[in-house]
């Protein structure tokens, strides 16, 4: 079959064949998956959320071994980011971080949250406090200085073609990236943030609806998308949240998007780098099996529901800020891994999970999506819908 054509201005901006971007999913979208999507004609994006600079460098080198096509790296920025200074090195003032904790992470938590960890470990028969030392190192690194600044510095240094921020405003870094010919993408869940990041120089705004897996907002994709498009015009907008096949791509383009940013549909690809059990839970899920919770990160995150989420929600505790909440979930998850109870660990996934039934190579998933979208937009719609304006 001939190679389908599906082209928008986003393809020209990002130098790609098809307007389909692999979402930068932390720890899951790594070199093999990124390269597979870029090779297929889209834009693969590394989910570098918790990767230190040396790991980002390793990923980028591996991608460059696998493909010569454009790709990107995605990080999570803290709120409040200042413009780069001097030689263009990026500086994030929201990074003015707490000093590395002298006490163990668990000791930093208020008493009621320490009690919650104890009670959850008891409830699920987990090894008590077994994970503390393992967690301490991760938490210390997270608190230990300008983590996201060091990530952005590394991405600049590596001359990555596309920089993306899944949280926060990437605008203050835009000049530094533009100076080296790179593009900047930012993700939003509401119109206010869309305006903010577009005004700050972001090249592509991703409007992410609540259907999405991972951190997500409250507005549905179909309601959010046209409002963001109108608010940031002429800045290009990609749609995200609930797009899992060619019908979703066609719908997003019909609604005015310049492209799509797809996460969950690639989570079940062969190249996605996370345990098979987590993929299997997505493959087995229905559209009703996800739940938004603050348990894992302190921010609203859509996950495959599990008994630990139910238990957290039943306790009616307020979530702590991001790093502190991560201590709670991190300790419990480390204990769950130790006890081989992976069903309790974080398993972010979107509502489109109910439509995913098999694990395939990313190239196949990608080609099926693009071909279906091109078919719908070239002939399929006309065959089903009789419309005219005269």
- Residues in contact with ligand FMN by the rule CB under 6 A: 23-26, 28, 47, 49, 74, 76, 166, 187, 208, 211-214, 240-243, 261-264, 267, 348-350, 352
Per DSSP, helices labelled H in 216-274 are: 221-232, 246-254, 264-267
Distance CA(114)–CA(112), nearest Å, equals 5
Q: Give the nearer residue to ligand FMN in terms of CB position, either 28 or 377.
A: 28
Alpha-carbon separation of residue 84 from 17, 87, 174, 185, 205 (angstroms) = 32, 8, 9, 17, 21
Q: Please, what is the minimum distance in Å from the beta carbon of residue 221 to ligand FMN? A: 8
* Count of C-beta atoms within a 10 Å radius of residue 383: 9
Q: Please, what is the minimum distance in Å from the beta carbon of residue 262 to ligand FMN? A: 5
Q: Do 9 and 26 touch, CB atoms closer than 8 A?
A: no
Distance CA(32)–CA(83), nearest Å, equals 33
Q: Do 101 and 143 touch, CB atoms closer than 8 A?
A: yes
Q: Give the nearer residue to ligand FMN in terms of CB position, either 114 or 270.
A: 270
Q: Please, what is the minimum distance in Å from the beta carbon of residue 289 to ligand FMN? A: 14
Q: Please, what is the minimum distance in Å from the beta carbon of residue 75 to ligand FMN? A: 8
Q: Please, what is the minimum distance in Å from the beta carbon of residue 161 to ligand FMN? A: 17
Q: Do 301 and 325 touch, CB atoms closer than 8 A?
A: no
Q: Do 100 and 73 touch, CB atoms closer than 8 A?
A: no
Q: Give the nearer residue to ligand FMN in terms of CB position, either 121 or 203.
A: 203
Q: Please, what is the minimum distance in Å from the beta carbon of residue 7 to ligand FMN? A: 22
Q: Please, what is the minimum distance in Å from the beta carbon of residue 124 to ligand FMN? A: 22
Q: Please, what is the minimum distance in Å from the beta carbon of residue 1 to ligand FMN? A: 26
Distance CA(379)–CA(34), nearest Å, equals 31
Q: Give the nearer residue to ligand FMN in terms of CB position, either 117 or 228.
A: 228
Question: Residue 186 pairs with which residues in a beta bridge?
Answer: 165, 205
* Count of C-beta atoms within a 10 Å radius of residue 292: 16
- Token digits of residue 84: 């780069």
Q: Give the nearer residue to ligand FMN in terms of CB position, either 33 or 109.
A: 33
Q: Give the nearer residue to ligand FMN in terms of CB position, either 108 or 345.
A: 345
Q: Give the nearer residue to ligand FMN in terms of CB position, either 108 or 263.
A: 263
What secondary structure does DSSP assign to 299-365, as a single string? S-EEEE--HHHHHHHHHTPPPPPHHHHHHHHHHHHHHHHHTT-GGGS--B--GGGGG------HHHH
**What's the CA angle centered on 377, arms 226 and 202, to 5 degrees?**
40
Distance CA(364)–CA(29), nearest Å, equals 16
Q: By Cβ distance, which residue is nearest to ligand FMN?
A: 166
Q: Give the nearer residue to ligand FMN in terms of CB position, either 131 or 240.
A: 240
Q: Please, what is the minimum distance in Å from the beta carbon of residue 386 to ligand FMN? A: 31
């Amino acid at each position: 079959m001939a190679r389908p054509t599906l082209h928008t201005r986003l393809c020209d901006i990002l130098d790609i064949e098809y307007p389909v971007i692999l979402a930068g999913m932390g720890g899951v979208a790594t070199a093999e998956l990124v390269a597979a999507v870029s090779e297929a004609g889209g834009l693969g994006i590394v989910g570098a959320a918790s990767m230190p600079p040396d790991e980002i460098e390793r990923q980028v080198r591996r991608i460059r071994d696998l493909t010569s096509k454009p790709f990107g790296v995605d990080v999570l920025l803290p709120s409040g980011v200042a413009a780069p200074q001097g030689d263009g090195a990026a500086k994030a003032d929201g990074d003015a971080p707490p000093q590395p904790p002298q006490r163990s992470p668990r000791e930093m938590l208020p008493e009621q949250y320490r009690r919650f960890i104890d009670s959850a470990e008891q409830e699920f028969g987990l090894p008590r406090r077994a994970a503390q030392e393992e967690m301490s190192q991760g938490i210390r690194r997270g608190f230990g200085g300008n983590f996201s600044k060091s990530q952005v510095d590394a991405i600049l240094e590596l001359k990555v073609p596309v920089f993306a921020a899944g949280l926060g405003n990437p605008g203050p870094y835009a000049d530094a990236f533009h100076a080296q010919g790179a593009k900047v993408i930012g993700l939003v869940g509401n119109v206010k943030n869309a305006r903010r990041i577009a005004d700050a120089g972001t090249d592509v705004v991703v409007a992410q609806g609540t259907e999405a897996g991972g951190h997500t907002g409250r507005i549905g994709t179909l309601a959010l998308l046209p409002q963001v498009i109108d608010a940031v015009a002429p800045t290009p907008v990609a749609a995200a949240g609930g797009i899992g096949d060619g019908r979703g791509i066609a719908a997003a383009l019909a609604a005015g998007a310049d492209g799509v940013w797809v996460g969950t549909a690639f989570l079940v690809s062969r190249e996605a780098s996370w345990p098979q059990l987590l993929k299997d839970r997505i493959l087995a899920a229905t559209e009703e099996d996800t739940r938004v919770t603050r348990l894992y990160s302190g921010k609203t995150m859509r996950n495959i529901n599990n008994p630990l989420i139910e238990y957290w929600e039943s306790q009616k505790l307020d979530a702590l800020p991001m790093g502190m909440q991560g201590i709670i979930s991190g300790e419990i998850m480390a204990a769950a891994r130790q006890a081989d109870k992976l069903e309790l660990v974080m398993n972010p996934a979107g509502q489109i999970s109910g439509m995913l039934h098999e694990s395939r190579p990313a190239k196949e998933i990608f080609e099926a999506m693009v071909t279906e979208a091109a078919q719908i937009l070239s002939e399929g719609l006309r065959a089903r819908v009789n419309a005219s304006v005269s």
